Amino acid sequence: MTAVLDRPVSRPPVRLHRDRRRWAWGLGAAAVLVWSLAGAGLFSGAVVNPGGGVQFDRFASAALSPAADGEFLALLATSALVTVAYAALGTALALLLGGVGAVLVSRTTWGRRRLGWLLARGALAVPRGLHEAVWGLLLVNVLGLDPWVGVLAIGVPYGAVTAKVFADLVDEVPRGGYEALLASGSGRATAALYGLLPPASGGLLSYAFYRLECAVRSAVVLGLIGAGGLGYQLSLSFASLRWDEVWTCVYALALLCLTADVAGRAVRRRLATAPSAARRDPVLTAAVLGALALTAWSWWFLALSPGTLVSARTGSQLGYVLGAAWPPATDGALLGSIAGLAVDTVQMSVIAIAVATLGAGLLAGVAARPRGPMRPGRRLAGSLVRVVLLLLRAVPPPVWALVLLFVLLPGVLPGALALGVYTLGVLGRLAAEATEELDPRPRAALTALGARPAGAWLYGVASRATGPVLAYALYRWEVAIRDTILVGLLGAGGLGALLASEMAAFDWAAVTTVLAAIVVLTWLVDLVSDRARRALR
Amino acid sequence: MVDLTVGPGERVAVVGASGAGKSTLLGLANGSVLPTAGSVRVLGADPAALRGRALRQLRARVGTVHQHLELVGQLRVVHNVNAGRLGAWSGLRAAWSLVRPQGLPDVEAALDRVGLADRVYERTERLSGGQRQRVAIARLLVQQPDLVLADEPASALDPVLADQALRLLGELALERGGALLACLHDPAMALRHCDRVVGLAAGRVVLDEPVAALSAADLAAFYGAPA
């Protein structure tokens, strides 16, 4: 046996075989990033606004002295209520649409008719591919300045996403109970009601609250394009250069988004850990009842009248817009500029995701809450980073873009960085949670053999968290490409800016073409992201 | 209450029912468990009294094969073996090694000694339980510790490989004048590869004899199984 152990190394040397698919994706991603940075003008020409420093100083110094007079605060409080009301009603509509839509797009409904299922899924890509703000701008042209604009602008795209997610949740339920009911002769609807819905209900409810949380952020953004509420106050104060008021608005909307974030997460965590005992959880019951009451109050507060939707004026306006929008414009100049701006849009989203991923990777270790005792310095740094991440994601990307435009020249870069810091807020938290969920023992084993903290973290944590974090980053890229349109609408360039200018000119045929381009672009990004995530697995 | 002294050149088997405190004893020896009462001296130092660099230097001289191995599944075998040198490497070198594996000849030699020379670049999670156990032993071979701790190091190995593994650990400990402390559940293994057997029950030493004074039947009785 000793002979076996002490045998000299005589076999041909083993070579390192890299996973070709991953390497191709990695190199491709690096190439696209360099191309995007070049496109943003980072390697050529000026990107920093030399005269912006003074303005920025004035703006930044107002941060410590926000407007606090009673009249303005009362105005902001009313605006915050408008924003919350939009969010609540938009979510309610989205859940209604999503519930009906889920039945139409679930695999359970279509069974083996794959083509029908694919077509139903494909139909969702259109409402889903357009950002809430785009819906808002379109609806303003049909409904005028009516509260329905805000509600529908949130409800329609959210409804499409909700339909897809609800359908997936129901389709993922183990089929045993459902099939047993079918076998015993009950109809498919009854069987689904008894065999599929109850096991899926926790997930459905959790997602509903997540949507409400997102809707608050969307409602703020809709305000920025003129739908009223906090965002609207912010844009008014910004346009009149009242920095002290701007800061009060920013604090107010950060507080609102923060509350939604914390409350939503608390409810969802409770749902995830709720024991399956027969007793109802009083907090969850209160949350559901509260959400229902909030919806009813919002209806009253916004004074929604269903009559507006079916009035003669709405009908004729819709007819006019649709008539003017078809056929889409196909002239070469427009298509050429769409192609160029689509490139800008993609570059913006790529830079944003790169910034966010890099930042999340660097901060994840500090932001994660380790199990066991911590030194006071480590605890303080962790809390600080978590609060910063919370603030980054509490302020919507267009607001970040407005701030960055002080110091950067207009173009791809300010929009990209604005999206980047916002996405960093989201991705940083996800990355920290990914490292928290890892088994702590391999890292402890490395510490026990004398590894430095950095080495133990690199070998024991980073190597295992990289895959999940990259997958999250790719998923956030899909979200970022939609948000790129949003910051574009507010002047940061790309397809969004073109859309805004065509709408301002009432060139509906061109608007149709731009919208089609946006839908195709978001669909392509979804496709690439999905493929890349598969290569990661 | 454990009163136990292990001297250089000793190979000690720790036996006892599960929950008797075997793993805690090893944890005390590598400094991952701090004593609530009494004191521990490892290689002449008290782990509880050391901090920072001094603690790391002590820990680098103590190598452990953990019961659940605690390897990083997503890393290739070469990196898991090289992790044994993290105590000696700077952070930068550790990071660069993930790109270009450092000290490759040592890693290859260590893997060859445990019979895994052809698995250098395999992802560790793709190996079988027994192969992973041998990767954990290869990590110790490159770490070159003075004190070798092993918690059931052969539980997933067939008898031939188990004998090889324990012989290797014993050699590793003795060639540097150190000691081996191994938790074993197989009495025959304890008698074959160790010089001394320590039995634990409910956290106390209830048996401490040189192997020469013990028979397989004595040990089997200790494990509570019929001889």
Question: Which residue in the set A14, A17, A454 is minimally distant from B118, CB to CB?
Answer: A14
Instruction: Tell me the longest C-alpha to C-alpha distance in chain B.
Output: 55
Q: Quick: pLDDT tens for A234-285.
A: 888 888 888 888 888 888 888 888 888 788 888 877 877 766 555 677 888 8
Q: Is B194 helix (H, G, I), strand (E, B) or coil?
A: coil
Whether residues A455 and B94 touch (CB distance < 8 A) is answered with yes
Last residue of a domain, one of B144, B167, B185: B144
Contact in structure between B34 and B137 (CB atoms under 8 Å): no
The reply to whether B88 and B132 lie within a common domain is yes
Domain membership flag for residue B107:
yes
Cα-based angle B113, B114, B116 (whole degrees, multiple of 5):
105
Which helix (H) or strand (E) segment holds residue A435: the answer is: helix A412-436
Residues B227 and B117 in one domain: no
Say yes or no for a CB contact (<8 Å) between B72 and A460.
yes
| Domain match, B86 and B135 both | yes
In B114-200, which ranges are continuous DSSP H helix? 129-143, 159-175, 187-193
CATH of domain A21-44+329-536: 1.10.3720.10
CATH code at B166? 3.40.50.300
Chain A residues 146-205 with a CB less than 8 Å from chain B: none
Q: What's the CA gap between A5 and A274, in Å, rounded?
A: 55
Q: Report ipTM (2 d.p.).
A: 0.86
Domain check: are B126 and B194 in the same one?
no
Give the pLDDT confidence of A214-247 residue by residue, as tens digits.
Answer: 898 889 888 888 788 888 888 888 888 888 888 8
Range(s) within chain A of domains with CATH label 1.10.3720.10 = 21-44+329-536, 79-303
Please list every residue in chain A whose beta carbon sits closer than 8 Å to the beta carbon of residue B63: 449
- Low-confidence residues of chain A, pLDDT below 70? 1-14, 17, 45-46, 274-279, 372
CATH fourth-level superfamily of A79-303: MetI-like (1.10.3720.10)
Does residue B13 belong to any structural domain of this protein? yes
B55 and B150 both lie in a single domain: yes
Query: Do residues B88 and B192 share a domain?
Result: no
Is residue B67 one of the residues assigned to a domain? Answer: no
In A, minimum Cα distance to B113 occurs at: A5
Which range of residues forms the domain containing residue B129?
Answer: 72-144
Same domain, B2 and B54: yes
Q: CA of B115 to nearest chain A CA: how many angstroms apart?
A: 7
Q: Which amino acid would we find at residue A230?
A: L
Among A393, A406, A396, smallest CA distance to A486 is for A396
Task: Establish if B198 belongs to a structural domain.
Answer: yes
A506: left (phi over 0), alpha (psi -120 to 50) or beta: left
Q: Which of B63, B117, B167 sits opposite A11 (nearest CB)?
A: B117
Radius of gyration of chain B (CA): 18
- Minimal Cβ distance to A445: which of B31, B66, B76: B66
Shortest Cα distance, chain B CAs vs residue A33, angstroms: 21
From first to last of its 227 residues, what are the pLDDT tens digits of chain B? Answer: 678 888 888 899 988 888 888 888 888 888 888 888 888 888 888 888 888 888 888 888 898 888 887 888 888 999 999 999 988 888 899 999 988 888 899 999 999 988 888 888 888 888 888 889 899 999 999 999 989 999 988 887 888 888 888 888 988 888 888 899 999 888 888 888 888 888 888 888 888 888 888 877 777 766 665 43
Of B84, B95, B113, the CB nearest to A449: B84
Q: Cβ neighbours of residue A370 under 8 Å, at least 6 residues apart?
A: A436, A440
Q: Report the distance separating Cα B10 and Cα A136, nearest Å.
A: 79
Final residue before a domain boundary, out of B109, B127, B144: B144
> CB-based contact (8 Å) between A9 and chain B?
yes
Per-residue pLDDT, A277: 55
pLDDT of residue A278: 54
In sequence order, which residues have a C-beta less than 8 Å from that of residue A433 and are 6 or more positions away?
A368
CB pairs under 8 A between A and B: 116
pLDDT at A4: 42
In a domain, B66, yes or no: no
User: What is the total count of domains within chain B?
Assistant: 2
